[in-house]
A = this chain, B = another copy of it.
Amino acid sequence: MMSALASALLFASVAQAQLKPEKQVEVRQAGYQFMSWNMGKIKAQVVDGTEPYDQAKVAAAADAIAGIANSGMGALFGPDTTTAQLGDMTRLKPEFFSNLEEVSRIGAEYVKNANQLKTVAAGNDQAAIKQAFGALGNSCKACHDKFRAE
């Protein structure tokens, strides 16, 4: 309980100090979209093999992903930024804020997996990159499945 309350206060205070709700949504969507572009490059080169593997490009993509994941995106999830307040502009379900312990757990996994992908992408062990890519994708999916509206 304390943990969830602390998280809630953290989310609220950090977010309110910075951006309006609509802007929080815009910026977090931008972050995920840019991340998704970079995930796509790694997928094409290391998972699907539809593009030739280029170690430097995969490492750069993983750096961008990790940089975004570590940038404190929690500040972009104010309690007034769900579908309940903002309608179609976001897909964030209000349930996000009644499950903050789970959110924190998934968020920590997501950051850990992004950092692991960055670590292995600095080398050229494609099997390790593929595995780390899959783990990060599962973190994305875990949050989407629970807290993103259709």
Contacts and interface: CB of A to CB of B under 8 A. Distances in A.
Interface of A: 17-19, 26-27, 29-31, 33-34, 37-38, 40-41, 51, 57, 60-61, 63-68, 70-72
Nearest to A36: B27
25 contacts: A18-B41, A19-B37, A27-B34, A27-B37, A29-B30, A30-B30, A30-B31, A30-B37, A31-B34, A34-B34, A34-B68, A34-B71, A38-B71, A57-B72, A60-B67, A60-B71, A61-B72, A63-B67, A63-B70, A63-B71, A64-B67, A64-B70, A64-B71, A65-B67, A67-B67
Interface of A, secondary structure class, is helix
A72 B51 CA distance: 15
A18 B39 CA distance: 13
Nearest to A54: B72
Contacts of A17: 51
A77 to B, nearest CB: 13
A60 to B, nearest CB: 5
Nearest to A27: B37
A133 B27 CA distance: 20
Contacts of A19: 37
Contact of A26 (B26, B33, B68): B33
Contacts of A37: 19, 27, 30-31
A66 to B, nearest CB: 7
